[in-house]
Amino acid sequence: MDVVVAEGLTRRYGETTALDGVSLSVAGGEVFGLVGPNGAGKTTLVRALTGTTKAEGTVELFGTDPRSVEKARIGLLPQEFDPPDRLTARELISYYRGLYDDGRPVEALLADVGMTDDADTYYENLSGGQKRRTCVAATLVNDPELLVLDEPTTGIDPAGRRQLWRLLTDLADSGTTILITTHYMEEAQQLADRVGLLAAGELVALDTPDALITEHGGESLLYIDGEFEEGVESVLDYETSLDGDRLTVRNVRPEEIGAITETLDNAGIAYDSLTWTEPDLEDVYLELTGQTVTASGQILEDR
């Protein structure tokens, strides 16, 4: 059963179109990732899907209007969330836990997000990453069936980010439906069963990460750097090109690299270094939109 269904969502603010006819569905137990830079429309879409902002089109959660759904069934972490500063992390989670008749134990939640050691620190004294992890825990107090997280790992260090990835994966494995927005391409690729790519309010592609990469990501490449003579390309039985001191070999699988280096060695061709790259979601986004997204969610360049 689809937990989230949206058809033709459009939202305008004056002359600005924040959402442009977005349609999608999220199945029960699925991790669905919405990917795009800041300003792509991710937050507006989350608000439209959860009934906290009006949009043209239709939305259903659990088969009904989002505003009619029992609140305990949903956990929502907005991108901007400012709880009381003068509560400790433990007090803050305990407060939100107290709003529900049933839910998860506070100490277990602190452990899940890696906040056990800092549980008695006032929220205002926590680092940005610690604050975000505490907020994620607060979102989980009611053990929601649908978890909606808008940029949940912003400001979190790589180790903390991976800890949250493991937590979300475990939640999905236990049946929780998760909708996550992110500008981290690696995060979407690691977590999501399916990914929707947003650009300027439009959903430009939707599929599994592997399918998107296969269709739009381009080729795997092996870069061989060194000083080469003309005609070196003919030594290898691959599509190759020579540009200055770099020999590029296309469509190389990792297990083929050894045979390539052996061929070069047998031909007496020396080289300085090897670099193998494979396409990822960042390449897909660039191919489909002409934009590269930085680690801070900004658009780096247009082609």
- For 66-87, the pLDDT digits (tens) are 999 998 999 999 988 888 889 9
Asked, for residue 300, whether it belongs to a domain, the answer is no
Asked, for residue 295, whether it belongs to a domain, the answer is no
Asked, for residue 284, whether it belongs to a domain, the answer is no
Query: For 112-146, what is each residue's pLDDT tens digit?
Result: 999 999 999 999 999 988 999 999 999 999 999 99
Residue 283 Cα to chain centre, angstroms: 14
Mean pLDDT value across residues 210-229: 93
CATH number of the domain where residue 230 is located: 3.30.70
Are 123 and 230 contained in the same domain? no
Are 93 and 229 contained in the same domain? no
Quote the domain boundaries for residue 242.
Answer: 219-277
Reply yes or no on whether the pLDDT at 1 is more than 90: no
Mean pLDDT value across residues 141-154: 93
Reply yes or no on whether the pLDDT at 297 is more than 80: no
pTM for the structure as a whole: 0.86
Task: Count the domains in the chain.
Answer: 2
CATH number of the domain where residue 174 is located: 3.40.50.300
Are 124 and 195 contained in the same domain? yes
pLDDT at 303: 45
Cβ proximity of 289 and 196 under 8 Å:
no
Are 123 and 233 contained in the same domain? no
Residue with tokens 């381009």: 218
pLDDT at 38: 86
Are 177 and 261 contained in the same domain? no
Are 78 and 31 contained in the same domain? yes
- In DSSP terms, 293 is beta-bridged to 299
Are 233 and 203 contained in the same domain? no
pLDDT at 69: 94
- Report the mean per-residue pLDDT for the chain: 91
Per-residue three-class SS string for the chain: CEEEEEEEEEEEECCEEEEEEEEEEEECCCEEEEECCCCCCHHHHHHHHCCCCCCEEEEEECCECHHHCCHHHEEEECCCCCCCCCCEHHHHHHHHHCCCCCCCCHHHHHHHCCCCCCCCCEHHHCCHHHHHHHHHHHHCCCCCCEEEEECCCCCCCHHHHHHHHHHHHHHHHCCCEEEEEECCHHHHHHHCCEEEEEECCEEEEEECHHHHHHHHCCCCEEEEECCCCCCHHHHCCCCEEEECCEEEEECCCHHHHHHHHHHHHHCCCCCCEEEEECCCHHHHHHHHHCEEECCCCCEEEEC
pLDDT at 129: 87
Are 149 and 254 contained in the same domain? no
In the chain, pLDDT over 70 holds for what percent of residues?
97
Asked, for residue 289, whether it belongs to a domain, the answer is no
Are 200 and 231 contained in the same domain? no
